[in-house]
Chain A
Amino acid sequence: MISRIEQDHSRFREIIRGKIRQNLRKYISRGDLIAPKGQGSVTIPMPQINIPRFVFGDNSGQGVGQGEGDAGDPVGGSPKDGQSGSGKAGEGEGHKALEVEVSLEELAEIMGEELGLPNIQRRGTQSLETKKDRYVGLRSSGPESLRSFKATFKRALRRQVAMGTYDPRRPVIVPIREDRRYRSWRTDPRPQSNAVIIYMMDVSGSMGDEQKEMVRIESFWIDTWLRSQYKGLESRFIIHDATARVVEREVFFRTRESGGTMISSAYKVCSELIEAEFNPEQWNIYAFHFSDGDNWSVDDTATCIGLLKNQLLPRLNQFGYGQVESPYGSGQFIKDLRAAFNKHPLLITSEIKTKDDIMDSIREFLKGGR
């Protein structure tokens, strides 16, 4: 039976979910929600929900205290320097900030509902699950080969101490049958991933920190959504300026290089990566490329289009190109792509001018449900 408080707690969480949904755009466009890798949840700060009543107005500018001090001395606990300036001092009372922990799955669900994202139609084989045995505990029977010496002797020591037969001056411990402990295992199903996202980012000189931040936020949310659709989703990261390479996740978001931009280099690496590791028969492959659209030359753009047409698109579930606006870039690439692929169903382009556009861009990318 569910206890009463849990029912009330889940009602409260429903209300919170409603609030998150209302403010989803705000939350999405903020970078600080992004959970470190491996962490299954994010913490969202929101103001405490207060019930309005007829109460006295802000009276915190004055009061009665107790203690030492002369007129003019500061009362401890007054707002720190950093806080003054904005807002009235000590709006404090009843202003407990609420920190709400939301699992990424839940967040993905909210996002999916809010953006009206369809569930993804998988292709290829259904996801396979493999099983893996893990040693997780102890039990009192088992094969001798799995006997845990440490645990067995601990038991024996405990028994002897309890029985009073243990002599610390002559510490001899003799396990008997009941003391023996054996390692036991559990069989965990391990989902075999059959989806991969390949992120490509332009890190040439024209991509500033702000642009990278937008890419970071957007790929986080795409990742979150696709993860909710596939168990054990893989991801790969490619950065490029004039040359491209596969990198770790951390490097992907941190690197800043300078130099020219040859987008084709990234597409080439991507294509090789798919060839080497991900058989399109069995994998759902997503590729996203983010750039400011300032490619080196018209020739290179032509190469890109060729690569996309012949190498990438036939193998991918979807190719997304997101163009962030940068003060330096010409933004020509998106126009070229649009011209070349005029509404190709697998190629989706989206322009991200400011952080506020991230939501719409995500919707653009994911609304196809492929």
Chain B
Amino acid sequence: MTSMSDVLAASGGLPGVLRELQSEIKGYADGFGLDTFPVVFEPVDYRHMCEIAAYDGFPTRYPHWRFGMEYDHMLKSHTYGLSKIYELVINTNPCYAYLLEGNSLVDQKLVMSHVYGHCDFFKNNNFFSHTDRRMIDVMANNASRVRRYMDRHGVSTVESFIDVCLSLDNLIDPWLPFRDKKGRRAPAGQSGMAGPEVEAEDESGRLHNVRGYLEGYINPPEFIAAQRAKKKQQDEIARRKLPPAPDRDVLGFLMQHAPLDAWEADIVGILREESYYFLPQRQTKIMNEGWATYWHSKIMTTKALRDDEIIDYADAASGVTAMGPGQLNPYKIGVELYRYIEERWNRGQFGTDYDSCSSLQERASWDKRLGLGKQKIFEVRRLYNDVTFLDEFFTEDFCRDQKFFTFKENRRTGRLEIEGRSFAKIKAQMLQQLSNFGQPFIYVVDANYLNRGELLLGHRHEGVDLKADYARDTLRSLERVWRRPVSLLTILDDKAKRIRFDGSEISMSDEPQAFRV
């Protein structure tokens, strides 16, 4: 349990060597134009590090068994030497970063440089702009409320409700924070009110008529009246429909409309708040790690490294960007893409002239000596997220240079085999994996489905089915919150289906057509 003052006190007690190191690295970072929050480094031993990592960097978080599980797992992998957490940094102002005690000085230097990269990214990337930089305090307040609920309603009651909410915590709308700056939804239904209230002489059903004397024939009054009545009725239905349009902020919707006790609604709110806070980190994994890697490499190799540290540095740095077979390393892709962009903009390899040039040789030697590279990567780190980053800069040249391939399971041998190196396929697959931070698109469609108060969700199918057993269990969680039967429209094995949980059993039925927005 670390209060703010403890942390600051601890940082004041940062051993002299590390303090000197920090001001040295900070100097280099500033010199390169990195723009960061103040960074507070705190050296911790590995147990403490695992503890903080289990809480996703927030030691003040609410109590829940899964943090204990994560801790158990990390501690074991550390003890058995399977993995090691070098560094941990959180998106707050000031920015807290934890150093692993007992790392060599060159490792600490590398980590500090890396942390300044992250911190610059947190502060400047647009997708982090809506996050609360005092999240440590927010988390602590949330935790004390959760504790109070636990005291009042019992630990296991509250904990099992948190379990239920956790299973829904990916059902949020990534764009909501930008539509509504406070990240809070307008009370539903209000938005729909304004329109139909205006009882002006509307033109519904009236055909265009330039000749006044034909009005009675073209637009007979009784027909117009019927049209108006019909329109009014439709508006009435539309107004009563909840949500007015499919809504991706499922958690927010439940928080407002599910029949929850006050404490339950608060817990839904807490989990939702944390989900939105962590969301940009999931949306910019490649960019964020790539940026930090770019800068630790830049700072270390051009400034901070002493001659006798080069081997240790190279060893650590190559570990960071190592590629496991069959999996993509965000550090590696990220840093390579930034370097590629820098190179291209330095040499002026962009614009219509370059794009339309078809001679490989000419393209390769293209150099206008513009020197815009640095400016460009700073701009990119401000404006892009992983999807747009790859969409724009993952080019065919890059793909070829970096030797990307697609692989597929060989059904006969069960082996994963290289399928090919088709650029279109590789890119499509990567974007597919990244879109909507790797989660399926789920919408609240109707809160009064079949006019029975049932909840209907829709899965916008983008080519990959949902994991069926998980989907069924998630429906159980939803039913617990909604307290009425819940259904999900989805596609399984190319057939439109509706999965329903009525509180006692799961059923599945065919649907005439798939859910679309």
Contacts and interface: CB of A to CB of B under 8 A. Distances in A.
Contacts of A7: 63, 68
B406 A55 contact: no
B327 A49 contact: no
Interface stretch (B160-168, B255-263, B302-310, B347-355): B160-168
A1 B63 CA distance: 15
Given A64-B328, A74-B417, A5 B65 contact: no
B97 interface: no
- Between A10, A49, A54, A77, the greatest number of chain B beta carbons within 10 A of the residue's beta carbon is seen for A54
Nearest to A78: B416
Interface stretch (A11-19, A197-205, A312-320, A321-329): A11-19
Contact of A56 (B332, B430, B464): B464
Could you say which interface size class chain B belongs to?
35 or more
B457 to A, nearest CB: 9
A53 B167 contact: yes
Given A10-B68, A72-B417, A84-B414, A53 B402 contact: no
Interface on chain B toward A: helix, strand, loop, or mixed SS?
mixed
B413 A84 contact: yes
A343 to B, nearest CB: 44
Contacts of A66: 323, 328-329, 332-333, 402-405
A96 interface: yes
B467 A58 contact: yes
Interface string A33-71: 000000000000000111111111111111111111111
B474 A77 contact: no
Contact of B73 (A79, A90, A96): A96
B440 A77 contact: no
B277 to A, nearest CB: 18
Contacts of B406: 62-65
A102 to B, nearest CB: 13
A53 B488 CA distance: 13
A94 B424 CA distance: 29
A67 B323 contact: yes
Contacts, number: 197
A8 B67 contact: yes
Given A5-B54, A74-B417, A59 B464 contact: yes
A150 interface: no
B71 A52 contact: no
Contact of B326 (A49, A78, A98): A78
A55 B421 CA distance: 28
Contacts of A55: 170, 439-440, 466-467, 470
Contact of A75 (B61, B168, B407, B488): B407
Given A9-B71, A56-B440, A61 B408 contact: yes
B79 to A, nearest CB: 11
A349 B496 CA distance: 60
A65 B467 CA distance: 23
A78 B415 contact: yes
Could you say which interface size class chain A belongs to?
35 or more
A64 B418 contact: no
B313 to A, nearest CB: 23
- Between B73, B415, B466, B474, the greatest number of chain A beta carbons within 10 A of the residue's beta carbon is seen for B415
Given A55-B439, A62-B429, A64-B426, A77 B326 contact: yes
Nearest to A84: B414
A9 B71 CA distance: 7
A78 B430 CA distance: 20
B81 to A, nearest CB: 15
A3 B1 contact: yes
A14 B68 CA distance: 11
A76 interface: yes
A78 B411 CA distance: 13
B171 interface: yes
B379 interface: no
A250 interface: no
A134 interface: no
B474 A89 contact: no
A79 B488 CA distance: 34
B212 to A, nearest CB: 58
A87 to B, nearest CB: 10
Contacts of A9: 68, 71-72
B403 A68 contact: yes
Nearest to B405: A65
Contact of B459 (A8, A54, A67, A89): A54
Interface in A287-309: none
A90 B109 CA distance: 37
Given A52-B470, A64-B405, A67-B323, A75 B440 contact: no
Contacts of B473: 52
B425 to A, nearest CB: 9
B235 interface: no
Contact of B418 (A61, A69, A89, A98): A69
Nearest to A52: B473
B286 to A, nearest CB: 12
Nearest to B471: A54
A54 B323 contact: no
B434 to A, nearest CB: 11
Given A54-B170, A54-B466, A75-B325, A12 B68 contact: yes
28 contacts: A3-B1, A4-B1, A5-B54, A5-B67, A8-B67, A11-B65, A12-B68, A51-B167, A52-B470, A55-B440, A55-B470, A56-B440, A58-B467, A62-B429, A64-B404, A66-B329, A66-B405, A67-B325, A67-B403, A69-B405, A71-B419, A75-B415, A76-B325, A77-B324, A78-B415, A79-B414, A85-B414, A89-B414
Interface of B: 1, 51, 54-55, 59, 61, 63-69, 71-73, 76, 155, 159, 163, 166-171, 323-329, 332-333, 402-409, 413-421, 426, 429-430, 433, 438-440, 442, 459, 464-474, 477, 488
- The 7 A-B pairs with the shortest beta carbon distances in the complex, nearest first, are A76-B325, A12-B68, A52-B473, A8-B68, A84-B414, A9-B68, A61-B409
